[in-house]
Amino acid sequence: MTKIFLVRHGQTKWNVLGRYQGQSDIELSELGLEQAKLLAAGFPEPNISAVYSSDLQRAYHTAACVADVFGLKVQARKGLREIDFGDWEGKTYKEIAASWPAAGKTFFSNPEKTVIPAGESFAFLQKRAMTSLQEIVNEHPGENVVVAAHGAIIRTILAEALHMPLQYLWSIRQDNTAVNIIQYDEEHRLVELLNSTAHLKNAAAKK
């Protein structure tokens, strides 16, 4: 059985500002880097065979902190990128709701029906996510693998594992550097851990 450790990236300045990052390549904030280092130092599994990441720097640098602890190199995969927010990237929810009221209204209540202008749908995101993840699972049978990515794409992976409709995507919380564990075999998915931030022992790193 392959065990996947899904990790969300550390905090960025756009996280603090409430700006939708999507595939914009935003770097970790100072606190985000501290969170990544705490994640690496307190990682919940001592035996890791490989570390994968989105090719966006906020996820890649989070993964690199973990990879260094295990003497591994990060393998970047474009397919693990965050959802493409298209015309919404760099905007706050308030700005989105003002300019696209219909889409803004359904974004949290019915994300599976939301049309993001010049962006991706959540259904497409989930398909992309599962294609990338299945490739990783196939390459590492019976191993422990870290996959660093982003809030929305991780939620779609967890929704698939939990047999949860995408409508309830936002019912899954994902904090910065949260760890999620999913076990995979040929027929089953077993969610072992959700949104763990036990590694953030320093209270300042939880803000």
SS3 assignment, position 175: coil
By the 10 Å C-beta count (0-12 exposed, 13-18 middle, 19+ buried), 169 is classed as buried
Known catalytic membership, residue 9: yes
Q: Which of 9, 61, 140, 199 is catalytic?
A: 9
d(CA 100, CA 15): 21
DSSP class per residue in 104-144:
HHHHHH-GGG---TTS--HHHHHHHHHHHHHHHHHHSTT-E
d(CA 48, CA 158): 21
CA 170 distance to own-chain centroid: 13
Four-point Cα dihedral 12, 18, 24, 28, nearest 10: 0
CB 2 within 8 A of CB 184: yes
d(CA 86, CA 161): 27
Q: Which of 61, 150, 163, 199 is catalytic?
A: 150
**Would you please indicate which residues are annotated as catalytic (active-site) residues?**
9, 150
